[in-house]
Amino acid sequence: MPTETRAVPTPWSGLRRLTGAPVLLGLIGLAGVALFVLPLGAVARLAFFGTGGGGDAIADALRSPQVQRALWNSLDSSACAAALAVVVGGGLGLLIGLTDLRGRVALSFAILMLTMIPPHVTAIAWMQMLGPSSVLLQALGIAPALGSTHPLYSREGVIGLLALQQVPIVYLTLRAALRALPRDLAEAARVSGAGPARLLLRVILPLLGPALLAGFALAFVSALGNFGVPALLGIPGRYVTLPVLMWQRLASSGPAVLADMAVLSVIIGGLAVLAVWAQFRVLRRGAVALIGPPQQALRLNLGRARPLVAGTLWAVMALVVVVPMLAMLATAVVPTYGVALTLQTLTWQHFHEVIFVQAVTARAFANSAGLAVLAGTGVAALALATGALSRSSFGLGARAVTVLAEVAYAVPGLVISVGFIIAFLKPIPVLGLSLYGTHAIILGAYLSAFLAVGLKPVGVAFAALDPALHEAARVSGAGFWRRFWRIDVALAAPAAASGAVLVMLMAWNEVTLSSILWTRGTETLGTVIFNYEDGGYSTLAAAMSVISVLATLVLLGLLHVLGRNLPPGIIPWRG
Amino acid sequence: MSITLHQLTRRYGAVPAVDDLSADIPTGCFFTVLGPSGCGKSTLLRMIAGLEPVDAGTIALEGRRVSGPGLHLAPEARGVGVVFQSYALWPHMDVAGNVAFPIEATGIARRAARIEAKQHLASVDLDGFADRRPADLSGGQRQRVALARCLAARARIVLMDEPLANLDPHLRAAMEDEMAAFHARAGATTLFITHDQREAMALSDLVAVMRAGRFEQIAPPQDLHDRPASAFVAGFIGRGVVLDCTVTAVAPGHAVVRLSPDICIDVRASDPGIGPAQVLLRPGDLRQDPAGVAGRVLHCTYRGDHWEARVQVPALARPVLVHLSQRAVPGETLGVAFSGGWVLPAG
């Protein structure tokens, strides 16, 4: 056996070590400043200290009847939708998470489709399903009379569709909490003589209280920032929410009203941050320390009711997920909106139109695909760097970026967009480049708004890793970059990839961020669909929506396959 | 000296985990740190590896100072090998990849490193396992991969953090032999952390008993058993009872102690003073003898090849332990003869 000692590292390897973690810290710091500090700081500065801003401007805005009504509508719709989502999502979570229902993964997947299909597409699909020319309602003979107001163009319509979109958020929060619940607690209650009802009411629901509250807060914040649903249903229904009001003002006056935008942004952004903060406070006070490892969840026996429950659930899922999609598809294949769908009227002309004829739609597909891929890979890279940094002596920098990303995620998307316009409208000093009107400004907004989505799975993966794996590499003589590539990146890559696909999905489907950032040449899929629908081209909007949903399904399938090699909890519908 | 620790201190908040600890570990020595959980032994290992900073004191490896005031050489530059309790095999690399990693870290190309790694795998009898994943190996095989990775690093100092703790008891004995063989083959100074006194006794040249961040005693295993320096060491290693006594006469290496007005015995001692002292009585220092002092059996436990009885002799403050060849019934009276003991050093 050779026993001579290998060469001791030379001084210049010490120099290279110096350029390790600090370089990563610099990169993360730069991203943090460009993506979060500059845009959000610009909004705050303009709102509080700029010309046309300040305390008086905020007070004036709050006194304006228009803003008051929009603010009230926002609070009303978000709170009602979140409450509805807690009832429905919570019930689904308990039913699927606690019983021996079959096909839980498939059901979870179906529930998740409610958020995976973007709000504006959902709104279009439901409008087709319940409108006067609905194939479904006509067949049932209960279609509203032609010319009557669409039933969804109302407060109730907005709340209903918002709630539908938030159901998966509550459902996922509850399922995660159920997974973390030690099975012993439930079994101890059962051997103490508690039947299923007592077990649910006295043990499980009290322990799930914090999760339900967290679900409510998340759903509330998400509904508060929603643009697609209130824009498509609320504008015709004269039920204007704050994000829609902001979009209307910006669309009619352009960047001239930036100070006004900043003031409204501070109001709605402050509301969102306040809601998240209040949730943290309540959660911390109400937290009950759970002792014991998480285990396979309880499987309460539904007995003879099982086929009935399963059948009902699937029927409801079909009604809220599949039927609206079919209605949308039906609209996409008739010559003009309102024509009944028969074999004679069936036509693919709208698909031909949006794919081959219209330059703007082709551009939108290309823009959204490119932006989604760049946003996904960018977020994955930033998440990996942040994860590796959190293990080094610069962990504080990683935590700071994580907190900033969480704030940006909570803040309504429109606020992020306003921030990017204010911060990057003027040319960047030295470079003399203006980002406004380029793809870069949309990409920046995507990175800012979606970084938290990519940080989460990578954070889970890093937390699940034995620290000794990293230490073993250190004592094996590996320097910073060798450890970064061979250990950190290699081990967290599957989680980062799943985060990247999630971000791609969100970027592909989003409309809120780009609705005020797009210019001619940088149209996104969401804005084109929205503008077609808004402009009355329902058949073209439906055709584009169908293609976008198909692409979404392909990405979801990819995620499902990726999920095979991941720890449970990263792919939402698995486990 | 291969590892020199001087007044080493590490605190977590106000509580010292390692407290003003000094020791010299000779080159090639198999040095075991033995102590109960929470005594600071893992912190000590991590400080030597460079995974943990020191608050005060110095560490020198092979004569080179690596930790001290204002000095902290990074773990990757220390050239020590570590066998982790969890083995820390990288799940995304195959067995050869794991072993090749430290070789690659010295700047050798991946392909050449893999070839060299296979030689190290052969030396731990894992020839055919190069392309397996760590997840597909048994506990003992993973242990051997971790040892091979240490060999590949050609470290002159190997630190082992309870490497046998995760193995089945029957496998542990076999791995002890492999550890000894590994140490003989690599010739590296080995610092072995354990809470299992049997492991420490079986493997070590020197054992340091650690308690509350300090070494209570550093000695070869047999000395530790026969001549413990304190009541803690006496209680931690082997079976036995410590009793108060009075030293009435001394001779080089010996003393006569009085346990009660009627019981005086000749015991081993190292330079005790006349007067009150404490004596350790191991089961081997007593035997059943009808002519001895009468005592009442309190409890009798089967220990494999003998019975261990706890016997209360009325004149003594505490029951003593006696090995019996047959079972005794609690309440039974039997005679006990004292044939030796060890006077614990004062202080």
Rounded to whole angstroms, the Cα distance separating B340 from A330 reads 100
DSSP state of A488: I
| B157 pLDDT higher than 60 | yes
Over residues A449-461, the pLDDT tens digits come to: 999 989 988 888 8
**Which amino acid belongs to residue A5?**
T
A474 neighbourhood in chain B, CB within 8 Å: 50-51, 74-76
For B152, the closest chain A residue by CA position comes to: A476
Whole-angstrom CA distances from A153 to A131, A148, B130, B186, B255 are 10, 11, 67, 80, 103
Neighbouring C-beta atoms of residue B142, cutoff 10 Å: 21
| CB atoms closer than 10 angstroms to residue B138 | 11
Residues of B in contact with A7 (CB under 8 A): 106
Q: Is residue A475 within 8 angstroms of chain B, CB to CB?
A: yes
Cβ–Cβ < 8 Å for A315, A107: no
Supply the DSSP string of A346-391, one letter for each residue: ---HHHHIIIII-HHHHHHHHHHHHHHHHHHHHHHHHHHHHHHHHT
DSSP A181: S
Tell if the CB–CB gap between B90 and A3 is shorter than 8 Å: no
Q: A486 and B101 in contact by Cβ < 8 A?
A: yes
Q: With contact defined as beta carbons under 8 Å apart, do B283 and B302 qualify?
A: no
Per-residue pLDDT at A575: 54
Tokens standing for B235? 């209680």
Partnered with residue B251 across adjacent β-strands are B254
| One-letter amino acid for residue A413 of the chain | G
Which strand (E) or helix (H) includes residue A180? helix A155-180
DSSP state of B238: S
With an 8 Å Cβ cutoff, are A477 and B186 in contact?
no
Would strands B30-34 and B189-194 be described as parallel, antiparallel, or unpaired? parallel
Predicted confidence band of residue A495 (pLDDT cuts 50, 70, 90): confident
Per-residue model confidence as pLDDT tens digits over A469-490: 999 999 998 888 899 989 999 8
Beta bridge partners of B19: none
Which DSSP symbol is given to A300?
B
- Retrieve residue B113's tokens: 């490193």
The total number of residues shown for chain A amounts to 575
Q: What ipTM describes this predicted complex?
A: 0.81
- φ and ψ at B189, to 5 degrees? -65, 130
Interchain proximity A468–B86, CB inside 8 Å: yes
Give the pLDDT confidence of A275-325 residue by residue, as tens digits: 888 888 877 776 555 555 555 666 777 778 888 989 999 999 888 888 888
Which of B88, B101, B154 has its CB closest to that of A478?
A: B101
Are A157 and A548 within 8 A, CB to CB?
A: no
Judged by CB atoms closer than 8 Å, whether chains meet at B76 and A9 is answered as yes
Other beta carbons less than 10 A from residue A66's beta carbon: 12
3-state percent helix, strand, coil for chain A, nearest multiple of 5: 75, 0, 25
Q: State the Cα–Cα distance between residues A453 and B169, nearest whole angstrom.
A: 45
Q: Which of A188-192, A282-286, A457-461, B307-311 has the highest mean pLDDT?
A: B307-311
pLDDT tens-digit readout, A34-87: 999 999 999 999 888 877 777 788 888 888 899 999 999 999 999 999 999 999
Decide if A498 contacts A563 (C-beta within 8 A).
Answer: yes
H or E segment at B203?
Answer: helix B197-203
How far lies A47's CA from each of A55, A59, A241, A425, in Å?
8, 11, 20, 16
Element (DSSP H or E) covering residue B4? strand B3-12
pLDDT, residue A56, reads 81
| pLDDT class of A6 with cuts at 50, 70, 90 | very low
Q: Which residues are within 8 A (CB) of B223 and not within 5 positions of it... i.e. 6 or more apart?
A: none
Cβ pair A237, A406 in contact under 8 A: no
